[in-house]
């Protein structure tokens, strides 16, 4: 959420004349840390952290990786945004990853992380993230810490309610924030025909057990409202998915007022096992769509993008026993299920309490048809019939809830800048701590799973006025680490984040460390442009394309002198890193290229395309300090005028260039 959301809340609360709003917002820098905080976050040099924290980068489009408890930043994984540091989105091999039905999209807005699970417990295999803007879901492989796959979601706009994962990673699930005319309808409609023409969808993207590869198993067409967040059922509620929704008013303008009219919106419960039965029975309609599906091949070191043409759509109106609505006050944001799967917590941004729903009661209400009418053909369950109870007067602007291993819930409050700890069964508030300031999501290691590891809670704050050295108009967003091992929460540490953090997940380091890949085996390199040894290095002309099959090894490129390129040519540098040692990437850059560098991992091949725009001799060099003679890892490429008769030639370590046969096409 951007500050506009804060303004909305301030507006609404100011309008309802709550002067205590001001008084409960912490003022000024408060350290509020106890004496032993420093030792609790101190990870000695050379020692490992206890947890990995995978943090969404919001409008940076990336995912960042921190150590907990130290708060040290290890890596920024490029996901939806190009990253010149790593050549992601710049190398020929990675460009297809960012292809969509709208063409190449170099950016997105990543809000939520979902780590893969087996039996409801983190298994350390993959991290999924959503692209909000151009609806997509990405899968990051935790062996390589690289984006392995991106799938676009059709019939969706503002893929916010996404990705949320089921307890055996059967599906990652995505709900559309904006309702829109469906892709195969005439999209050219008046916006004020919203109620008639705009629809919502939720998508179930199946995840292959072995490869992790995603495919859209089915979508469900929903009323034209806004889907905000979601959580899968677990344990007894496995097979269900819960979505928070706002704008049940179906407003299409000035939502801050028009979508805040009703007392209650909904949490929508979807029985996806039932949906699967309907799909099997052929109750889904095949609808024409267009969406990109991009996969990175680890052996070819190359991505491919395929445009898919069809999805299966189920209709929530027509198919019984599949979708139910639970009334939820008021404009709910977070929708979180506790580790037992019995309780569903709805956080109404504008509500003065937190409703907690009971899965058992929901089942009873469904069985006894305890309905309060229908909404767009979907049965609405009676609020009182499904309610476990309400957490009274918890704070202002509840957003998200996370759980520990001892039966407690932690809810973030944006407006009152605090985290409130409460007992999931008794609904009693047992503790509260300040955050600095305006907290969004929380993360407890294992918090969204059946088996939280507890110990820490991390709050991700939107506003950090007076917490850090000023950096001009924009300040760092921030994470705050709390110790939750005792009865009282204790602030331990602040650390700044990359982009705007929304959700994050933390996982014990052991689950990831043991699988971490060190190199790509050179003998497995199937890139068609690889040069698997210095003796394969060469330069070939194909029409106006010049292909340089180059190798890199400490501390030289082969070849490092290239001539015979002419104006009008496109030069493709296919660089194979022959190293087979951990942590020895080589970089590659060309003066004046309208492109980025390449950063090539051991055993990998990556390609940089360069169209020279002037005649001359251009240096090339390695950008990654790889040995004592790194600074010697350099070379030249000569560009001659169009029509010149300088032949293609190349060499390394020779005084005179060796002429070769150019393959003319």
When binding is defined by CB under 6 A, the residue of 626, 637, 639, 648 that contacts ligand CUA is 626
Residue from 86, 95, 111, 199 binding ligand K7E (CB under 6 A): 111
Range list of β-strands (E), 435-499: 439-443, 456-461, 478-483, 490-496
Task: Determine which residue in the list 136, 139, 146, 160 makes contact with ligand K7E, applying CB under 6 A.
Answer: 160
Determine the residue with CB nearest ligand K7E. Answer: 440
638 binds, among ligand K7E, ligand CUA, none (CB under 5 to 8 A by kind): none
Residue 26 has which token pair?
């912490």
From 149, 146, 173, select the one nearest 160 (Cα to Cα): 173
622 binds ligand CUA (CB under 6 A): yes
Minimum Å gap between C-beta 620 and ligand CUA is 11
Report the Cα 234 to chain-centroid distance in Å: 22
Record the tokens describing residue 581, joined without a space. Answer: 């040692």
Residue 261 CA: distances (Å) to CA of 200, 329, 576: 20, 11, 61
Report how far residue 118's alpha carbon sits from residue 170's, in angstroms, rounded to the nearest whole number. Answer: 9
Which residue, 502 or 586, has its beta carbon nearer to ligand K7E?
502
**Pick from ligand K7E, ligand CUA, none: which does 169 bind, CB < 5 to 8 A by kind?**
none
Beta 323-329 vs 264-271: how paired, if at all? antiparallel
Interface region with ligand CUA, contact rule CB under 6 A, candidates 201-209, 381-389, 498-506, 626-634: 626-634
Cis before residue 330, ω within 30 degrees of 0?
Answer: yes
- Cβ contact 174:156 at 8 Å: yes
| DSSP classification of residue 436 | S
CA separation for the pair 36, 33 (Å, rounded) = 8
Instruction: Residue 76: count other Cβ atoms within 10 Å of its Cβ.
Output: 20
Site string for ligand K7E, 276-315 (x = CB under 6 A): ----------------------------------------
Q: Supply 464's token pair.
A: 């950090």
Q: Which of 624, 636, 646, 660 binds ligand CUA (CB under 6 A)?
A: 624
State the binding string over 560-599 for ligand CUA (x if CB under 6 A, else -).
--------------------------x-------------
Query: Taking CB under 6 A as the rule, does residue 136 contact ligand K7E?
Result: no
One residue of 633, 637, 639, 648 binding ligand CUA per CB under 6 A: 633
Question: Applying CB under 6 A, what is the total number of residues that bind ligand K7E?
Answer: 12
The nearer residue to ligand K7E, 139 or 160, going by C-beta atoms, is 160
The edge-to-edge listing of strands for the beta sheet with 586-590 is 598-600, 586-590, 616-621, 634-640, 561-566, 649-651, 658-659
**Which residues in 318-337 contact ligand K7E (CB under 6 A)?**
333
Q: Is 274 in the site for ligand CUA (CB under 6 A)?
A: no
Q: Which does 630 bind (CB under 5 to 8 A by kind): ligand K7E, ligand CUA, none?
A: ligand CUA
Among 630, 634, 652, 662, binds ligand CUA (CB under 6 A): 630
Of these, 199, 231, 441, 586, which contacts ligand K7E (CB under 6 A)?
441
Task: State which residue, 530 or 622, has the beta carbon closest to ligand CUA.
Answer: 622
Min CB(585)–ligand CUA separation in Å: 8
Size of the site for ligand CUA (CB under 6 A): 8
Q: Residue by residue, what is the 3-state secondary structure of 518-530?
A: CCCCHHHCCCCCC
**In the complex with ligand CUA, which residue's Cβ is closer, 248 or 577?**
577
Q: How far apart are CA 214 and CA 147, in angstroms?
A: 13
Out of 76, 153, 335, 399, the residue judged to bind ligand K7E by CB under 6 A: 399
Q: Give 568-630 as a DSSP string.
A: T-EEEEEEEE---STT--EEEEETT-SS--EEE-TT-EEEEEE---S-EEEEEE--S--STTG
Rg (CA), the chain: 27
Angle at 453 between CA 450 and CA 455, to 5 degrees: 140
| Closer residue to ligand K7E in complex, CB, 409/531 | 409
Q: Could you say which residues in the range 183-212 bind ligand K7E, by CB under 6 A?
A: none
Least distance to ligand K7E, CB of residue 326, Å: 20
- Positive or negative, the CA dihedral 114, 119, 120, 122 is negative
Q: How far apart are the first and last CA of the chain?
A: 55
Pick the binder of ligand K7E from 503, 573, 588, 618 (CB under 6 A). Answer: 503
Q: What is the dihedral of CA 258, 264, 265, 268, to 10 degrees?
A: 180
State residue 485 phi and psi, 5-degree precision: -75, -25
CB of 599 to ligand CUA, least distance (A): 10
Least separation in angstroms between residue 424's CB and ligand K7E is: 20
Nearer to ligand CUA, 601 or 626 (CB): 626
CA angle 267, 271, 343 (to 5 degrees): 50
Smaller CB separation from ligand CUA, 150 or 550: 550
Q: Which does 503 bind (CB under 5 to 8 A by kind): ligand CUA, ligand K7E, none?
A: ligand K7E
Beta bridge partners of 68: 51
Report the C-alpha gap between 295 and 614 in whole angstroms: 36
User: What is the full DSSP assignment across 333-354?
Assistant: EEEEE-TTS-EEEEEETT-SEE
Per-residue binding string, ligand K7E, 459-498, x by CB under 6 A, is ----------------------------------------
| Options 76-84, 265-273, 499-507, 621-629: segment touching ligand CUA (CB under 6 A) | 621-629
Nearest to 416 by CA among 137, 24, 87: 24
Q: Which of 440, 564, 603, 657 binds ligand K7E (CB under 6 A)?
A: 440
**Cβ-based neighbour number of residue 647 at 10 Å:** 13
Nearer of residues 497 and 552 to ligand CUA, judged by Cβ:
552
Residue 238 or 333 having the CB closest to ligand K7E: 333
The binder of 1, among ligand CUA, ligand K7E, none, by C-beta within 5 to 8 A per type, is ligand K7E
Min. distance of Cβ 607 from ligand CUA in angstroms?
Answer: 17
Residues that bind ligand K7E (CB under 6 A): 1, 111-112, 160, 229, 333, 399-400, 440-441, 502-503
Residues that bind ligand CUA (CB under 6 A): 552, 586, 622, 624-626, 630, 633
């Amino acid at each position: 959420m951007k500050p506009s959301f804060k303004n909305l809340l301030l507006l609404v609360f100011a309008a309802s004349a709550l002067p205590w709003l001001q008084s409960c917002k912490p003022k000024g820098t408060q350290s509020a840390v106890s004496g032993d905080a420093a030792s609790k976050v101190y990870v000695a040099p050379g020692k490992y952290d206890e947890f990995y924290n995978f943090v969404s980068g919001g409008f940076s489009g990336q995912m960042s990786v921190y150590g907990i408890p130290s708060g040290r930043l290890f890596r920024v994984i490029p996901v939806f945004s190009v990253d010149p540091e790593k050549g992601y989105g710049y190398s020929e091999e990675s460009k297809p990853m960012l292809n969509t039905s709208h063409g190449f999209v170099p950016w997105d807005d990543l809000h939520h992380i979902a780590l893969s699970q087996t039996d409801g417990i983190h298994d350390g295999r993959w991290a999924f993230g959503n692209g909000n803007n151009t609806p997509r879901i990405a899968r990051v492989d935790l062996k390589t810490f690289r984006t392995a796959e991106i799938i676009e979601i059709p019939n969706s706009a503002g893929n916010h309610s996404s990705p949320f994962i089921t307890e055996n990673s059967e599906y990652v699930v995505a709900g559309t924030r904006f309702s829109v005319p469906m892709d195969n309808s005439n999209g050219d409609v008046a916006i004020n025909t919203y109620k008639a023409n705009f629809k919502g969808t939720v998508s179930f993207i199946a995840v292959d057990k072995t490869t992790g590869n995603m495919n859209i198993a089915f979508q469900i067409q929903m009323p034209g409202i806004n889907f905000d967040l979601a959580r899968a059922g677990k344990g007894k509620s496995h097979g269900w998915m819960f979505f928070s929704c706002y704008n049940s008013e179906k407003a299409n303008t000035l939502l801050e007022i028009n979508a805040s009219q009703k007392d209650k919106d909904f949490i929508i419960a979807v029985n996806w096992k039932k949906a699967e039965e309907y799909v099997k029975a052929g109750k889904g309609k095949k609808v024409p769509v267009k969406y990109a599906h991009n996969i990175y091949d680890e052996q070819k070191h190359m991505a491919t993008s395929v445009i898919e043409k069809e999805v299966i759509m189920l209709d929530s109106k027509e198919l019984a026993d599949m979708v139910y609505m639970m009334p939820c006050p008021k404009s709910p944001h977070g929708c979180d299920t506790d580790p037992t799967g019995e309780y569903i917590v709805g956080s109404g941004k504008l509500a003065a309490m937190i409703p907690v729903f009971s899965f058992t009661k929901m089942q009873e209400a469904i069985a006894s048809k305890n309905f309060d009418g229908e909404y767009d053909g979907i049965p609405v369950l009676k609020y009182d019939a499904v309610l476990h109870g309400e957490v009274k007067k918890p704070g202002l602007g509840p957003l998200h809830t996370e759980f520990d291993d001892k039966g407690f819930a932690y809810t973030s409050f944006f407006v009152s800048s605090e985290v409130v700890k409460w007992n999931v069964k008794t609904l009693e508030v047992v503790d509260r701590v300040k955050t600095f300031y305006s907290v969004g999501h929380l993360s407890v290691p294992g918090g969204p799973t059946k088996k939280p590891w507890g110990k820490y809670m991390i709050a991700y704050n939107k506003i950090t006025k007076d917490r850090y050295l000023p950096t001009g108009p924009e300040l760092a967003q921030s994470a705050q680490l709390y110790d939750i091992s005792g009865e009282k929460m204790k602030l331990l540490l602040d650390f700044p984040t990359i982009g705007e953090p929304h959700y994050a997940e933390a996982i014990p380091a052991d689950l990831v460390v043991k699988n971490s890949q060190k190199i790509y085996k050179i003998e497995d390199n199937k890139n068609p442009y690889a040069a698997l040894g210095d003796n394969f290095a060469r330069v070939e002309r194909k029409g106006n394309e010049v292909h340089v099959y180059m190798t890199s090894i400490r501390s030289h490129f082969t070849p490092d002198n290239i001539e015979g390129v002419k104006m009008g040519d496109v030069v493709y540098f296919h660089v194979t890193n022959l190293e087979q040692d951990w942590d020895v990437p080589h970089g590659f850059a060309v003066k004046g290229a309208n492109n980025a560098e390449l950063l090539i991992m051991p055993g990998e091949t990556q390609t940089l395309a360069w169209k020279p725009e002037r005649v001359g001799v251009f240096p090339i060099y390695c950008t990654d300090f790889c040995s004592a003679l790194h600074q010697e890892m350099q070379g030249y490429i000569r560009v001659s005028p169009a029509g010149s008769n300088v032949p293609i030639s190349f060499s390394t370590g020779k005084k005179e260039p060796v002429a070769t046969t150019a393959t003319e096409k």
